[in-house]
Amino acid sequence: MKRTLALIALLVAACVCRAEDLTRPLLLVASPALQGAYSHTALLVFPMKDQHAGFILNRSTDVKMASVFPDHPPSAKVAEPIYFGGPEMMDSLFALVRKDPGPGSVRVLGDLFVTAESDCIDRIIETTPNDARYFAGFVGWKPGELAKEIESGYWYVEEMDPSQAFRKDAGAMWDELVQRLGNGYPRPTNLHGV
């Protein structure tokens, strides 16, 4: 009887832990079984009204800012490549920064801000070019879509630490996170692209 009660308590605790508060920014880590466009990704996700938006944090490209804006000399000062943020608005540039860059930006979490405003991005590139991470495109979820994906086991979820958005070794991010977060979670099988 005690074993049964303990087992029920553990199951209830596991269900409570899996229910995520989607009203705050989170770090999503693709389940190892997830296939398709989001396979092996780690994403910053944040609420935007009744929807969610985010950026793939571990998909750098070979494209440098200077090659995209060759007539804008300050762009040559951006050391890191542009990251692939997601399939939505891939022809748009977004800057994720560690301090408020001014008008045209949106607070994501604490001192973490995002902007797609061209004047604001120009100002960042001209004044503090390497204090931002630049993304082409973003990931978007319709109302209720992200909750269903998490419930289906597509994503492991963790509190967002703003420093994760600026990791220098972003390529190793997914492996490290899935190894840590995957322990204790059921491993869904045959999850095809979201």
Q: What is the DSSP string of 105-152?
A: EEEEETTEEEE--HHHHHHHHHH-TTSEEEEEEEEEE-TTHHHHHHHT
Q: What is the DSSP letter of 34?
A: B
Pairwise CA distance, residues 116 & 192, whole Å: 31
Q: What is the DSSP letter of 166?
A: G
Structural domain boundaries of the chain? 21-182
Number of residues that this document lists for the chain: 194
The predicted pLDDT at position 1 comes to 43
User: Is it true that domain 21-182 has CATH number 3.90.79.10?
Assistant: no
**What spatial distance separates the first Cα and last Cα of the chain, rounded to whole Å?**
42
Average pLDDT, consecutive stretches of 10 residues, N- to C-terminus, the chain (194 residues) = 35 41 94 92 94 97 96 96 97 96 92 96 96 97 95 94 91 90 57 57
The predicted pLDDT at position 49 comes to 86
The predicted pLDDT at position 139 comes to 97
